[in-house]
Amino acid sequence: MRVLGIETSCDETSAAVLEGGGDDVTLRSLVILSQDVHRIFGGVVPEIASRAHVTAIVPVVERALADAGDDTIDAVAVTNAPGLVGALLVGVSFAKALAFARDVPVIGVHHMEGHLFATALEHREAVPPFTALLVSGGHTLLLDVEAWGRYRLLGKTRDDAAGEAFDKVAKLLGLPYPGGPYVERLAASSDAGRFRFARPMLRRDQHPSDPEFYDVSFSGIKTAVLNAVRSASDVAEHGAIARAFQDALIDTLVEKTARAVAQYGRRRVVLGGGVACNATLADAMRRRLEPWGAAVFTPAPRLATDNAAMIARAGLFRLERGEHSALDLNAFATQPIPGLVAA
């Protein structure tokens, strides 16, 4: 089966062609056009994002089909939730029109289910059962993945997403948007010096029945960073602040993930989302979990951040289960991941 994937949920216009079945798939093409314009505003401007998707969608899909060598497709998979509604609608409307014109099925894909499948595109062993940590600009989710399509939501952020925390801290430190990679680089060349920020919602005596056992919260660290920036004697201390912030965030994520690995006894851990590009996070996960015999898988940066290959992959899974969407498929800002089982 050849699936065309389309992703327009935020500020990337992306299309990809994937071929195969089950966990045996080959990526034939992947085109990602990132909208640089938002840098000027220090964050994504929804109205501008939608217009940029309208301009880019036709050439991006044409390029992906041309790169795939053969422009036949058996289905179209498109992100229809969650995300910026105006941005999503561009991809959804285009996908429906193309599917209708080519007389092939269309399937709406949940963006976060896409992130769950991204690592499996490159690592054949990154398949269920596994513990998943999805850390992006909009979400922070800790899941136990028993099988594809069976997801137990263990924890989430109570406020800012991990990527959002990186972006806001970058702003406080005067770094460009999106700030994650800049904060990581600055932190890598510094030690925390006199700064140490409290690890949010992390106490050693927490029990799994405690609602804070798996949840995270990053807005407090952000305030701590703001106070530290104000107290800093000069910008030379910004490196130490970046390092102290990243240490606190990573410690929290590693501890929460380790709790899930221990409780569910998984031997594999899969990271996903843009923050999974952070090599310091991946190293810390490996140091903590590999001694337990758990393998940690991270997607390549191109597949960690928003892309259509992961959407095609998740769509293929749903299509193989006999699912498809009707032509009234709509876009939604929020929607639970399909296949959630009770915790």
Q: Which residues bind Zn ion (CB under 5 A)?
A: 136, 306
Structure tokens that stand for 66 in this block: 């041309």
DSSP assignment of 261-306 equals HHHHT-SEEEEESGGGG-HHHHHHHHHHHGGGT-EEE---HHHHSS
The stretch near ligand KG4 (CB under 6 A) out of 58-66, 86-94, 177-185, 223-231 is: 177-185
Residue 341 CB contacts under 8 Å (≥ 6 apart), including other chains: 146, 150, 151, 152
Report if residue 278 touches ligand KG4, rule: CB under 6 A: yes
The owner of tokens 């709509």 is 330
- Of 277, 284, 311, 337, the one binding ligand KG4 (CB under 6 A) is 277
Report if residue 178 touches ligand KG4, rule: CB under 6 A: yes
User: CB under 5 to 8 A by kind: which of ligand KG4, Zn ion, none does 114 bind?
Assistant: none
| Distance of alpha carbon 242 from alpha carbon 240, whole angstroms | 5
| Distance of alpha carbon 53 from alpha carbon 71, whole angstroms | 22
- Of 163, 200, 299, 315, the one binding ligand KG4 (CB under 6 A) is 163
The stretch near ligand KG4 (CB under 6 A) out of 60-68, 121-129, 180-188, 221-229 is: 180-188
Structure tokens that stand for 236 in this block: 């030379």
User: CB under 5 to 8 A by kind: which of ligand KG4, Zn ion, none does 277 bind?
Assistant: ligand KG4
Report if residue 144 touches ligand KG4, rule: CB under 6 A: no
CB of 273 to Zn ion, least distance (A): 6
Report if residue 167 touches ligand KG4, rule: CB under 6 A: yes
Nearest to 201 by CA among 153, 158, 250, 141: 158
- Of 82, 108, 137, 200, the one binding ligand KG4 (CB under 6 A) is 137
Identify any residues that bridge with 31 across adjacent strands, giving them in sequence order.
Answer: 15
> Which is closer to ligand KG4, CB of 29 or CB of 298?
298
Apex 155 CA angle, 325 and 45, nearest 5: 60
CB of 277 to Zn ion, least distance (A): 12
| Distance of alpha carbon 171 from alpha carbon 175, whole angstroms | 6
Report if residue 86 touches ligand KG4, rule: CB under 6 A: no
SS3 label, residue 41 = helix
Q: Which helix (H) or strand (E) holds 204?
A: none
The stretch near ligand KG4 (CB under 6 A) out of 34-42, 97-105, 200-208, 270-278 is: 270-278
Report if residue 43 touches ligand KG4, rule: CB under 6 A: no
- Of 180, 239, 299, 315, the one binding ligand KG4 (CB under 6 A) is 180
Report if residue 184 touches ligand KG4, rule: CB under 6 A: yes
Residue 211 CB contacts under 8 Å (≥ 6 apart), including other chains: none
- Of 3, 4, 6, 10, the one binding ligand KG4 (CB under 6 A) is 10
CB of 134 to ligand KG4, least distance (A): 8
CB of 308 to ligand KG4, least distance (A): 12
CB of 135 to ligand KG4, least distance (A): 7
User: CB under 5 to 8 A by kind: which of Zn ion, ligand KG4, none does 184 bind?
Assistant: ligand KG4
User: CB under 5 to 8 A by kind: which of Zn ion, ligand KG4, none does 312 bind?
Assistant: none
Residue 287 CB contacts under 8 Å (≥ 6 apart), including other chains: none
Measured CA distances, 155 to 170, 208, 209, 214, 251 (Å): 25, 11, 12, 5, 16
Signed CA dihedral, 161, 165, 166, 171: sign only? positive
User: For strand 106-110 and strand 12-21, is the pairing parallel, antiparallel, or unpaired?
Assistant: unpaired
Q: Which residues bind ligand KG4 (CB under 6 A)?
A: 10, 136-138, 163, 166-167, 178-181, 184, 273-275, 277-278, 305-306
